[in-house]
Amino acid sequence: MLGFFDSGLGGLSVLREVQKQMPSYSYIYLGDNARTPYGSHSHETIYRFTKQGVSYLFDKGAEMIILACNTASSSALRRIQMEFLPKYYPKKKVLGIIIPTAEEVIEQTKTKEVGILATEATVQSFAYPKEITKMDSSIKVHQQAGTLLVPIIEAGEFEWDGLDSILKKYLKELLERSNKIDTLVLACTHYALIEDKIKKRVPSRVKIISQGEIVAKKLKKYLEHHPEIESSLDKTGKRIFYSSEDSWRVKNLFNQFYGEPVEVKKVFLK
């Protein structure tokens, strides 16, 4: 099975796109909704939480895991790959979503100025500026933390006026830094869930990049290049959902963002 891990609901926006393009594979999803948002924690805490999530998914049968979370990808992926997997799961793979997104940014920007809207931890890791400028040093990267967005999304408060005001503030702060920004990355998978609201607040010259389709496209390519992994994947179309929180609210939001009713099983991560 292909495992997807996120701090909560955001990874569903990625899973939805991936399974649209690759429906026959089996997918297992884990959202750590009880401990979200990850973005306001330290890198060390995010690493510890991510390790627990990854172990859980492997123990439940994932052959490979996508960290469908920028915060976990920027704060924990490297250590998971370098320290954790070799010791505990030497035959398994964990992939992140920052490099595929950075590659897309480089293809899209014409003005060579891009905006990154992400969690505090992702911004502080400088993962995006580092990866983007490694590929093209002429690109200017402007970052903005959207600190309050994930808690609002996880609370399901989409119609609250405060969401609009806070979005207005973050986007204004970001876009005022340069009028040459032509590409805006929703560099937190939760933000894809409010993409429509973000679109309304961004001038039409700015192209919005949301990660679901990019990850789907790159994952497909990755599997084509790694037949040894591809052939080990279950293709019986299973869909399994876990969350560390089983409140009515979380179950409801899973249904809403997955797009159909799902059974969410409660897990205790340790």
* Residues acting as catalytic residues: 69, 188
CB burial string 10-34: b at 16+ within 10 A, e below: bbbbbbebbbeebeebbbbbbbbbb
Helix orientation angle between 127-135 and 98-108, rounded to the nearest 10 degrees? 50
Residue 174 sits in the site that holds ligand DGL (CB under 6 A): no
Q: Which stretch binds ligand DGL (CB under 6 A): 87-95, 130-138, 159-167, 184-192?
A: 184-192
Of the residues 3, 10, 100, 129, which one makes contact with ligand DGL according to CB under 6 A: 10
Residue 12 sits in the site that holds ligand DGL (CB under 6 A): no
Q: Report the sign of the C-alpha dihedral through residues 242, 270, 36, 190, in that order.
A: negative
Q: Which stretch binds ligand DGL (CB under 6 A): 23-31, 64-72, 196-204, 243-251?
A: 64-72
Query: Cα–chain-centroid distance for residue 47?
Result: 15
Query: Cα–chain-centroid distance for residue 209?
Result: 12
Residue 115 sits in the site that holds ligand DGL (CB under 6 A): no
Under rule CB under 6 A, how many of the chain's residues touch ligand DGL?
17
Of the residues 19, 26, 36, 183, which one makes contact with ligand DGL according to CB under 6 A: 36
Q: Quick one: 268 exposed, middle or buried, by C-beta within 10 A (0-12, 13-18, 19+)?
A: exposed
Site map 129..168 versus ligand DGL, x via CB under 6 A: ---------------------x------------------
Residue 46 sits in the site that holds ligand DGL (CB under 6 A): no
Q: Which residue has tokens 């790694």?
A: 226
Amino acid code (one letter) for 79: R
- What's the rounded Cα separation, in Å, for the pair 151 and 131? 27
On whether the CB atoms of residues 267 and 243 are closer than 8 A, the answer is yes
Q: Which stretch binds ligand DGL (CB under 6 A): 186-194, 221-229, 232-240, 253-261?
A: 186-194
Nearer to ligand DGL, 143 or 189 (CB): 189
Q: How far apart are the first and last CA of the chain?
A: 22
CB of 53 to ligand DGL, least distance (A): 12
- What's the rounded Cα separation, in Å, for the pair 238 and 247? 24
Q: Which stretch binds ligand DGL (CB under 6 A): 2-10, 132-140, 228-236, 240-248?
A: 2-10
Of the residues 70, 75, 125, 244, which one makes contact with ligand DGL according to CB under 6 A: 70
Nearer to ligand DGL, 78 or 180 (CB): 78
Residue 101 sits in the site that holds ligand DGL (CB under 6 A): no
- What's the rounded Cα separation, in Å, for the pair 107 and 100? 11
Residue 210 sits in the site that holds ligand DGL (CB under 6 A): no
Residue 100 sits in the site that holds ligand DGL (CB under 6 A): no
Q: Which token pair is 97?
A: 């979503």
Cα torsion 36, 101, 240, 10 to 10°: value is 30
The residues binding ligand DGL (CB under 6 A) are: 6-8, 10, 36-39, 69-71, 119, 122, 150, 188-190
